[in-house]
Structure 1
């Protein structure tokens, strides 16, 4: 039987200057990654940061800009951006409407845990 994990827009959590919900990890889904639905409100920008994980942002609704290591590029619904470990990044929403994206991240430890749960050695 499949499971559905619903987005709870009424109870989003503030993090990195945006509103989000961590939908992964999810006990029913044995995945080597984690993820969150993110909403950047109109006229706001997320907190610039860098980390050791690999990361993907998938733009779902609206238009914003992604700034990676000082380079600013348009980021629009349907786009996907890959962020290598250590890259300084943030999202800027200069528009009048909220911007929504899904972030997915992973690292070696998550991958090793996934393999271990399947009885495999990295």
Structure 2
């Protein structure tokens, strides 16, 4: 068992916000990748889309999740699924930081995971 701690010293800019890529992780073979993300008060991510499936898990604070032009309240404890091809961004219009964990995957990641597990057997 291994625990990997979040470390604010490792945050770096990406998509207009700050984050720490937590997967891939050398000690873990997984069919997905992920990042811990922090949106500062008044900040927002760059609107973007991609081919991967994605899940956002809100960890702390509240923000607005804008998906294909529709705004949705998004707060600690909430989970959102973002289908491939949707344009999305996170807007923090509160006075506190908003933190979430993003997890994404696609067919190629799944296939690499299956192949790696078959090689171990």
TM bracket (short chain): over 0.9
Aligned residues: 119
TM-superposed deviation, 1:5? 1.5
CA distance in 2, matches of 1:99, 1:119: 39
TM-superposed deviation, 1:4? 1.9
Unmatched 5+ stretches in structure 1: none
1:9 match: 8
1:90 match: 89
CA distance in 2, matches of 1:117, 1:63: 38
Deviations 1:34-76 (A, max 9, x none): 0000000001111000000000000000010000000001000
Matched, 1:32 2:31: yes
CA distance in 2, matches of 1:55, 1:11: 22
Deviations 1:76-97 (A, max 9, x none): 0000000000000000000100
Q: TM-score, normalised by structure 1?
A: 0.94
CA distance in 1, matches of 2:93, 2:118: 48
CA distance in 2, matches of 1:119, 1:20: 32
**Cα RMSD after superposing both structures:** 1.0
The correspondence of residues 35-114 of structure 1 with structure 2, limited to 5 A, is: 35-114=34-113
Q: TM-score, normalised by structure 2?
A: 0.95
